[in-house]
Structure formats: structure tokens, C-alpha cells
Amino acid sequence: MSHIDNIPSTPGKFKMDKSPYIHHRLRWHSSIAKLTFWSFIFLGLILVFFFRSPSTVPSSTSPSSDLSRRSLRTNSWGGPTWEKRVKSSAKIRSRNGISVLVTGAAGFVGTHVSAALKRRGDGVLGLDNFNDYYDPSLKRARQALLERTGVFIVEGDINDVALLKKLFDVVQFTHVMHLAAQAGVRYAMENPSSYVHSNIAGLVSVLEVCKSVNPQPAIVWASSSSVYGLNTKVPFSEKDRTDQPASLYAATKKAGEEIAHTYNHIYGLSLTGLRFFTVYGPWGRPDMAYFFFTRDILKGKSIPIFEAANHGTVARDFTYVDDIVKGCLAALDTAEKSTGSGGKKKGAAQLRVFNLGNTSPVPVSDLVSILERLLKVKAKRLIMKLPRNGDVQFTHANISSAQRELGYKPTTDLQTGLKKFVRWYLSYYGLGKKSAQ
């Protein structure tokens, strides 16, 4: 990623008038020139960001392609047939059920949460733009899985305010589970604007619509354990500082928490942020280490295992997706109603943030050893220094608050969870045949 350098000052190359008046005028004109220059640059970036949208979406693009490939890609929507599908999917079928709009429903966690809500009789409507940050065919397979359970996923972008308003016109959602986001720590170095587009602008779009509808829904949304950044105090507690992000992804999630506070304070929206810790399991994301380690071990390729300075261990608080889902549903069930009406706050509203982790950090090298046993293949390990690309040395969740307030209790250890993942992986990809492609 290239950076715009500051224009260097070179005062030694010409002789300046020593007069204070002339000096003051030169400095003043220089400041005006710089201000004008940067104003044009900033305006240009805004125009590019907001008005650049492709007429077609490439079926295969390089990972470094720009925001255009994941900007507003809303397909045609509306009409009696479409509205009928929306209403049917969102219809509550249990006595005390809720009606939930799940953004990012074709994503990893979104699919599992949507299926769990539907199983217990809640009304569920999905929203996803099916971008190609990773293989869209996996998202389409998840979509097909949810279709079989009765969950309809509207194809559209969370920045499409007209679509969001239409969905709330058709269905009076009691809750929003906002999981749509640009994921990944390292990819932010290649395509930073996509993180601003999804994680900041997208969140604001959702909150803007939610604040204006009547009644306002309660909102549960996905923050991230990445907000702890360079924090060295372990385990990470919700009370710890989160002002030292180690990646742009983390910074956008931290910004999201501050934005949530603002909308809660001004508009009375009930908001609960969930800081997920390294979620894994069946139907997972191909950009996650456990996933591509499995793929590369089966292909006989070397896998990078990072170590910190002085041969320090890199460890993660791996959390199985079913445990995360339980936390998400508990957050929905304990969410209080928003207090605003017509965009105006009527009283104090609930504002919460919880860690959802496993509380048992495991060295990445141990993760590889478990995969080797499950796959019955020896991994080709390539030990490398931890790069300065946003990755942190360890994560470790303090979940006492979630235990107390949500009844959250993770039950799946890494050995058990990876066994379930490998079983799914081999079934989905066909014993490595598809994974070798």
C-alpha cells in the first residue's frame, strides 16, 4: 500500500528575505497553499470513496483489488413476491420468540446464529452482500444451508439505507444481530478503505436506520478481541484499556464501540457489543489459520508458524463457534428495549460489552499438532518471526462478566472442536480433492 508523502520543506535552497513582514507573508501564503492542496486531496478521496461503484462485479479478482469490489452491490429487491419471502422468513413461530435481522448472515458466525435462532422458533431474516474477500461459493453454500431451514437472505449492502428502511417497513424487527463486517487483520494493509466502508460507515448506516424506526430494535453487534491491541495485562477484561490498536481492523472495531456509545447516549438505542476471541469450527473462514493450515497440510505445503521475540510463544484463545452462538443468543435474550422513539431519546438505554472467549489460550504450535493427529499427516512447519502487520502475540479472555450477566459458559475444548471442524472439512471438500484446487 503506497502512502502520500508530505511535501518536503527545502529552505536551504533559496535565500529568504529576513524582513519579519515578508517572512510572515511567506509563511501565511505557504499555509494557505498547503491547506488548499490537502483540501483538494481530501475532497478527491471522498468523491472516489462515495461515488465509485462498478457496473459489474468480477467473478475472480486479486486480493489486493480496491473497495469497488465490495461496495454497494445490492441486487434488485422489492415487489410482492420478495416481500412475501421476507415476511415468511421473519415470522415468529414460538410463543415468546423474537424477530431478528441478521446482517452478515452468510458469514461464518452469521450462518450459525441464524440457524440457531430459527431452530428455536424465532423469526430470522438475513442480509449479506456476498463479497469476495474469500471464496463466495462457500457463502453460497451457507446460504443454501439456511434456505433449507427457512431463512431467507436478502442480497444487499448494509450501506444501502434505502434497502434497510424497506426491510423495516416490511417487518417490525424486535432485534438486530449486526455481524456484517470486513474481517481479517492482515488484509487491512492491502485494502484499508474496505474496513472503513464496512466497519464504520456500515455500522453507522445500520444505527441511523434503527434510531429512526418506531419502535426501535435492540441491537447486538460483533466487536472483536482485537480491540485489546498491545495490552499486556492478561486475561483481557472489559475494563482494560483499548486505546492501543495493533491493526486498522482493531481500530475500526474500537471506533465502532465509541459510535455505539454515541447512538446509545443520543438516541436511546439499546446496544450490546460482543468481543469475539478467535472463533473456529465447521463452515469457518478460509483466511483463518486453522482453516488454511488444514488445507496446506493436506496439500503437503509448508505452513508458517510464527514466534515472538526471543522465541516467544504465539497463543490464541480459540473459541468454538457453538459456544459463541450461545453467547450471541444470550445477549439477544437479555437485551433490554431501546428507549427512543422517532429518533429521539426518551430515557436511559442499556449499553453493554462482553468478552466471548474460551479462557484457555493454546499455542499455535499445539494447534498444528492436533491437526496432524486428526488428519494423520505430518505438517511441514516453517518457523517465522511474528510480522508487524497487526498480529499480536497472544489473546486471553476474562469472561466473568459474560458468565454473570449472560450465563455464558464455553464447553468445547480445542481438541473436540477441531475434530468437528476436520470432519466437516473433509466432507465438504471431499478428502482434500477440492481443497487441492
Mean pLDDT of the chain: 85
Q: Terminal CA-to-CA distance of the chain, rounded, Å? A: 29
Dihedral of the alpha carbons of 365, 281, 272, 403, in degrees to the nearest 10: -70
Compute the distance between CA of residue 295 and CA of residue 434 in angstroms, rounded to an integer. Answer: 10
Per-residue pLDDT reduced to its tens digit, 319-344: 999 999 999 999 999 999 999 998 89
Question: Residue 410 above 90 pLDDT?
Answer: yes
pLDDT of residue 139: 98
Compute the distance between CA of residue 195 and CA of residue 179 in angstroms, rounded to an integer. Answer: 14
pLDDT of residue 5: 34
Q: How many CA atoms lie within 13 A of 310 on its CB side?
A: 0
The whole-number average pLDDT for the span 382-396 is 74
Task: Dig out the grid coordinates for 317 from the structure.
Answer: 484463545
Beta strands in 129-242 (DSSP E): 152-155, 175-178, 218-222
Task: Dig out the grid coordinates for 155 from the structure.
Answer: 442480497
Residue whose cell numbers read 466437516 = 424
Q: Which of 63-67, 279-283, 309-313 has the lowest mean pLDDT?
A: 63-67
Task: Dig out the grid coordinates for 408 from the structure.
Answer: 455464558
Question: Can you give the residue ranges of every domain in the chain?
Answer: 76-279+322-359+396-412
Compute the distance between CA of residue 344 and CA of residue 201 in angstroms, rounded to an integer. Answer: 21
Compute the distance between CA of residue 71 and CA of residue 159 in angstroms, rounded to an integer. Answer: 8
Per-residue pLDDT reduced to its tens digit, 69-93: 444 444 678 999 999 999 999 999 9
Question: Residue 272 above 50 pLDDT?
Answer: yes
Ramachandran region, residue 276 (left: φ > 0; alpha: ψ -120 to 50; beta: rest): beta
Backbone angles phi, psi at 307, to 5 degrees: -130, 145
pLDDT of residue 389: 59
Q: Under 8 Å CB-to-CB from 1, ≥6 apart: which residues?
A: 189, 190, 192
* Residue 394 contacts residue 231 (beta carbons within 8 Å): no
* Residue 426 contacts residue 432 (beta carbons within 8 Å): yes
Strand bridging mode 344-345 / 351-356: unpaired
C-alpha 3 chain-centroid distance: 25
Q: Which residues of 317-332 are buried (b: 16+ CB within 10 A; e: fewer)?
A: bbbbbbbbbbbbbbbb
- CA nearest to 91, candidates 142, 148, 152: 152
How big is the CA angle at 89 (ends 85 and 90), to the nearest 5 degrees?
115
Confidence band for 311, pLDDT divided at 50, 70 and 90:
low
The whole-number average pLDDT for the span 421-429 is 97
Catalytic position from the list 133, 134, 195, 249: 249
pTM, two decimal places: 0.82
At position 19, the amino acid (one-letter code) is S
Per-residue pLDDT reduced to its tens digit, 105-151: 999 999 999 999 999 999 999 999 999 999 999 999 999 999 999 99
Q: Topology of 76-279+322-359+396-412 in CATH?
A: Rossmann fold (3.40.50)
pLDDT of residue 32: 44
Compute the distance between CA of residue 251 and CA of residue 230 in angstroms, rounded to an integer. Answer: 12
The whole-number average pLDDT for the span 194-220 is 97
CB 186: neighbour CB atoms within 10 A? 14
The whole-number average pLDDT for the span 281-298 is 97
Dihedral of the alpha carbons of 102, 107, 112, 115, in degrees to the nearest 10: 50
Task: Report DSSP state, residue 121.
Answer: T
Residue 429: active-site member: no
pLDDT of residue 185: 86
pLDDT of residue 306: 82
Task: Dig out the grid coordinates for 250 from the structure.
Answer: 482493531
pLDDT of residue 333: 98
Task: Report DSSP state, residue 234.
Answer: S
SS3 165: helix
Per-residue pLDDT reduced to its tens digit, 359-379: 999 999 999 999 999 999 999
Cis peptide before 361 (omega within 30 of 0): no
Question: Residue 28 above 90 pLDDT?
Answer: no
* Residue 263 contacts residue 255 (beta carbons within 8 Å): no
Q: Which residue has the higher pLDDT, 85 or 52?
A: 85
Per-residue pLDDT reduced to its tens digit, 34-47: 444 444 444 444 44
Question: Residue 50 above 60 pLDDT?
Answer: no
Compute the distance between CA of residue 262 and CA of residue 166 in angstroms, rounded to an integer. Answer: 25
Confidence band for 403, pLDDT divided at 50, 70 and 90:
very high
Compute the distance between CA of residue 321 and CA of residue 338 in angstroms, rounded to an integer. Answer: 28
How big is the CA angle at 412 (ends 406 and 413), to the nearest 5 degrees?
130
> Computed from CA positions of residues 204, 209, 214, 217, in that sequence, does the dihedral angle turn out positive or negative?
negative
Confidence band for 51, pLDDT divided at 50, 70 and 90:
very low
Partners of residue 272 on adjacent β-strands = 220, 352
Confidence band for 273, pLDDT divided at 50, 70 and 90:
very high
> Computed from CA positions of residues 255, 260, 263, 264, in that sequence, does the dihedral angle turn out positive or negative?
negative
CB 128: neighbour CB atoms within 10 A? 25
Q: Which residue has the higher pLDDT, 315 or 27?
A: 315
C-alpha 268 chain-centroid distance: 24
* Residue 292 contacts residue 421 (beta carbons within 8 Å): no
Q: Which residue has the higher pLDDT, 7 or 369?
A: 369
